[in-house]
Amino acid sequence: MKIIPAIDIMDGKCVRLTQGDFSRQKMYSNNPVEVAKSFEDAGFERLHLVDLDGAKKGAIQNISVLKNITDATSLQVDFGGGIKSAEDIAAVLENGAALVTIGSLAVKQPALLAGWIKIYGTKKFFIGADVYDEKIKIRGWLEDGGIDIFTFLSNMKNIGATQFFCTDIKKDGAMQGPSIELYKKMIQHFDGISLTASGGVTTLNDLHLLQKIGCSGAIVGKAIYEQTISLTELSTF
């Protein structure tokens, strides 16, 4: 199981939200590049980079942070937040991202995503599902997506998507453990799915549980910044 540290960006700074609430944010660093370098120095190869401003506004806002990180490190970065056009896809890839994270657009315009998958290949896309009581939320978790997680995943698999991550909004930033039962249900429902867990990871035991149920990866954010798991422990998991 691959461990993927996370950086969430607001106003160019590294922050974390609690349960997706933009009013409940905590700033951890005003230098995301240095944070990314610390991950690389600890031995990580991947980075989950989220443009929270872009997700909220529906248009990319922090692509310069992506560029600065990919110039300064060799991390394989997946970047998302506000992506809505072919020009956005091209810009994200040109600025160094290894994968493009798609969330809201996958819900609202799956046919458009299907076209991009045909052009760039499925390995370039990391499909995010943000859920609250198994219902999809979009636009930085601010709007109801009008679809449940299982229907959404079925739709995505039908258009050729293969790499998914799921965030349980209730768990995100709450430091109360991940949604083991939800992920177990998803993996059982979709045999062979490549599912990365996101939200709630607090201890090494959480990671062992996610590995046991078959998750292919885990995104870790607040646990790193609050130091409930050390970078050394994570990098040797």
Q: Which residues are catalytic?
A: 8, 130
Secondary structure class of 192 (helix, strand, coil)? coil
Q: Are 85 and 133 in contact (CB under 8 A)?
A: no
Q: Are 138 and 145 in contact (CB under 8 A)?
A: yes
DSSP bridge pairs for 50: 8, 80
Secondary structure class of 162 (helix, strand, coil)? coil
First to last CA, the chain: 9
Of 68, 97, 100, nearest to 81 by C-alpha is 100
Secondary structure class of 203 (helix, strand, coil)? coil
